[in-house]
Chain A
Amino acid sequence: MEKRESLWDRCLDKGISRRSFIKSCVALTSLMGLSTDCLSKVVEAAEAKPLPVVIWIHGHECTGCDESFIRSASPLASDLVLSQIDLEYDHLLSAACGAPFEAHLEETIQKYKGQYILAVEGAVSTKDNGIFCMSGGHTFTHLLRHAAENAMAVIAYGTCAVSGGIQAAAPNPTGSSGIKMFVGNKPLINVPGCPPIPEVMTGVVMHVALFGAAPPLDGEGRPKQFYGNRIHDTCYRRPFFDAGLFAENYDDAGAKAGWCLYKLGCRGPETYNSCGNIRWYQGMSYPIQSGAACIGCSNPHFWDEGSFSDRLPKYDKIGDADKIGVGLAVMTTAGVAAHAVASVVQKGQRDVQEAQKGGAAE
């Protein structure tokens, strides 16, 4: 087997200076959410570890995650794809296609058995044996099982791969689900988001590449360094929330003043993501900063959790839980009052009967 290059080897090839190499290692360290003490470890890994082979497959989805991914700035997606990982197969980014390309996939799987990282985007459509999503003559379920079986680790990119995403929204006609059931006992890293933040996508794959293991994960399999906080707890509009200053409409004075979007249905209070601190596109902005309430796109069932612009779901014309609650309370009170009247009548009859009985006995 030929010797596989490390990141440092690649730099030497390209005539990139040691100084630039160390600089990118520093950037990588902070990006992966590690403390600067770990820099020497990162440098060592970058010098010695062969570049990781990555197979990137796409299921039932819109490929919006790639749109996000190619906008990663640190590391630049182009750097990552061309010099920091060995991207052997990618449904979307590869120039090649057809039978030779599929043959190359099989070759890669065999050659790097147990060594490659499998990145999966998109949901798995399971209904009718998965015929709703096919590539290269096979269903996606087949490809996913096969590729996952021989992988070192699997990364689920995007809410679709993690839990089904929009395909799985009710009524879920294609029986879509996340990939978890199909990857067996391989280490699985969930990177939800619709799409995930570009730097989070590159950061996770670089972590696996350099350390050969998954980063610390939370209970739902998400990397803690990126999904460890609610957006609400990192949001720059939080002081307005605490002060009780809310935009009531998207065009009122509160919205213009940049007040909290809670009453417009913001899902920040239950959404775990790095939008509040890393933000998007080199820290330029994120939905809440641009004035739109968070829709909770990294939550498993966010499509089905009520209207995006209300805190409480509305049930057609009846209204939300508070209206229904008031209605039920009024009805209960009326019921109770009716029962009271009926009870008084019954007691009256009872007393009369008892008096008669008492009279008869005397």
Chain B
Amino acid sequence: MKEVKRKEYYIFSPFLRIFHWIMVAMILILFVTGLLIAKPLQVMTPEPTYTLTSMDLVRDIHFVAAFIFCASFILRIYGFIINKGDRLFPRVWEGHFYEETVDVALHYMLLKPHHASFLRNPLARMSYAALYAMVLVEILTGFAMYYMNDPNSTGGVLFGWVNVIAGGEMMTHLVHHYVAWFIILFAIGHIYMVIRAEFMEGESEVSSMFSGSKILAHTPKDACELE
């Protein structure tokens, strides 16, 4: 039997963890209802009184989920303020960030057997920044479509410019739709990388999003950042 000494590092506040799981649920709901909005189910009967295809309901679920998702960012930002472990953005302004990113990337390309141990893997952090950017695009384009039923309303004034930048409201729909797919592609990659880290590198990634702690065998390079 092999004995390994491990140390527990508490990183993620409950606010971040709750946010994370709200986000998972909401993105799933938004994605499914969104696809149904673009391609509604077919009514299979000429007598539609009791059909279950209400577009109104699907759209309402999409919108409620959208508002919950947006509101949940309050948790994320609150966690960022009170807890050192909840970081919003990768530390791109620190020089060593880039070397470390290359190091990790080389390992993921199977060119290097190891990568240094991190509490916050720089490459993963970059991918989360990309996710947040995509979510921001979804939120901007989403509200731009949502509020334009009255262009003179506050929401219409706040988000109307998105349609101008997109080059027309049809384009806003397409951007919203295409970016939704990229979020799903991210999710596939993300789930894989997390499971891989758990089993290959012995980093307790999966459980950390429940317990808030990572239990690591090696001292991570960025351990000092928690102090």
Q: Which residues of A contact B (CB under 8 A)?
A: 218-220, 224, 228-230, 233, 241-246, 248, 253-254, 257, 262-263, 267, 269-272, 296, 299-302, 305-306, 311-313, 321-322, 324-325, 328-329, 332-333, 336, 339-340, 342-344, 346-347, 349-350, 353
Determine the distance from Cα of A353 to Cα of B189 in the docked complex, in whole angstroms.
Answer: 29
- Known contacts A245-B53, A312-B177, A343-B196, A328 near B185 by CB under 8 Å: yes
The number of chain B residues with a CB under 8 A from chain A is 45
Question: Do A244 and B152 touch across chains, with their CB atoms under 8 A apart?
Answer: no
Determine the distance from Cα of A171 to Cα of B189 in the docked complex, in whole angstroms.
Answer: 38
Question: Do B51 and A244 touch across chains, with their CB atoms under 8 A apart?
Answer: yes
A-B contact pairs, 13 of them (CB 8 A): A219-B161, A230-B149, A243-B51, A244-B58, A246-B40, A296-B170, A300-B168, A322-B35, A322-B181, A336-B189, A339-B108, A344-B200, A349-B113
Shortest Cβ distance from residue B199 to the other chain A in the assembled complex, whole angstroms = 9
Determine the distance from Cα of A332 to Cα of B185 in the docked complex, in whole angstroms.
Answer: 7
B52, closest chain A residue (CB):
A244
A329: chain B residues within 8 A (beta carbon): 181, 184-185, 188
Interfacial residues of chain B within 37-59, with CB under 8 A of chain A in the complex: 38-43, 46, 48, 51, 53-56, 58
Question: Do A343 and B40 touch across chains, with their CB atoms under 8 A apart?
Answer: no
Partner of A339, one of B56, B170, B192: B192
**Does B220 interact with chain A (Cβ within 8 Å)?**
no
Question: Do A241 and B55 touch across chains, with their CB atoms under 8 A apart?
Answer: yes
How would you classify the secondary structure of chain B's contact residues: helix, strand, loop or mixed? helix
**Does B173 interact with chain A (Cβ within 8 Å)?**
yes
Partner of A301, one of B48, B145, B168: B168
Partner of A305, one of B51, B108, B171: B171
Contact bitstring B65-92, A, C-beta under 8 A = 1, else 0: 0000000000000000000000000000
Question: Do B110 and A342 touch across chains, with their CB atoms under 8 A apart?
Answer: yes
Shortest Cβ distance from residue A301 to the other chain B in the assembled complex, whole angstroms = 6
Shortest Cβ distance from residue A19 to the other chain B in the assembled complex, whole angstroms = 37
Question: Do B40 and A262 touch across chains, with their CB atoms under 8 A apart?
Answer: yes
Question: Do A218 and B151 touch across chains, with their CB atoms under 8 A apart?
Answer: yes
Shortest Cβ distance from residue A76 to the other chain B in the assembled complex, whole angstroms = 31
Partner of A267, one of B41, B151, B170, B177: B170
**Does B174 interact with chain A (Cβ within 8 Å)?**
yes
- Known contacts A242-B54, A346-B113, A322 near B171 by CB under 8 Å: no
- Known contacts A243-B55, A311-B39, A328 near B170 by CB under 8 Å: no
- Known contacts A228-B151, A228-B152, A321-B178, A336 near B188 by CB under 8 Å: yes
B35, closest chain A residue (CB):
A322
Shortest Cβ distance from residue A21 to the other chain B in the assembled complex, whole angstroms = 34
Partner of A244, one of B43, B171, B189: B43
Determine the distance from Cα of A181 to Cα of B171 in the docked complex, in whole angstroms.
Answer: 23
**Does B172 interact with chain A (Cβ within 8 Å)?**
yes
Question: Do A263 and B39 touch across chains, with their CB atoms under 8 A apart?
Answer: yes
Question: Do B39 and A336 touch across chains, with their CB atoms under 8 A apart?
Answer: no
Determine the distance from Cα of A187 to Cα of B42 in the docked complex, in whole angstroms.
Answer: 48
Shortest Cβ distance from residue B84 to the other chain A in the assembled complex, whole angstroms = 31
**Does B160 interact with chain A (Cβ within 8 Å)?**
yes
- Known contacts A233-B149, A242-B56, A347-B200, A328 near B181 by CB under 8 Å: yes
Question: Do A230 and B110 touch across chains, with their CB atoms under 8 A apart?
Answer: no
Question: Do B46 and A332 touch across chains, with their CB atoms under 8 A apart?
Answer: no
**Does B167 interact with chain A (Cβ within 8 Å)?**
yes
B113: chain A residues within 8 A (beta carbon): 346, 349-350, 353
A300, closest chain B residue (CB):
B168
Partner of A270, one of B46, B172, B185: B172
By Cβ-Cβ distance, the 3 closest A-B pairs, closest first, are A244-B53, A270-B169, A325-B181
Determine the distance from Cα of A258 to Cα of B63 in the docked complex, in whole angstroms.
Answer: 27
B43: chain A residues within 8 A (beta carbon): 244-246, 254
Determine the distance from Cα of A305 to Cα of B171 in the docked complex, in whole angstroms.
Answer: 8
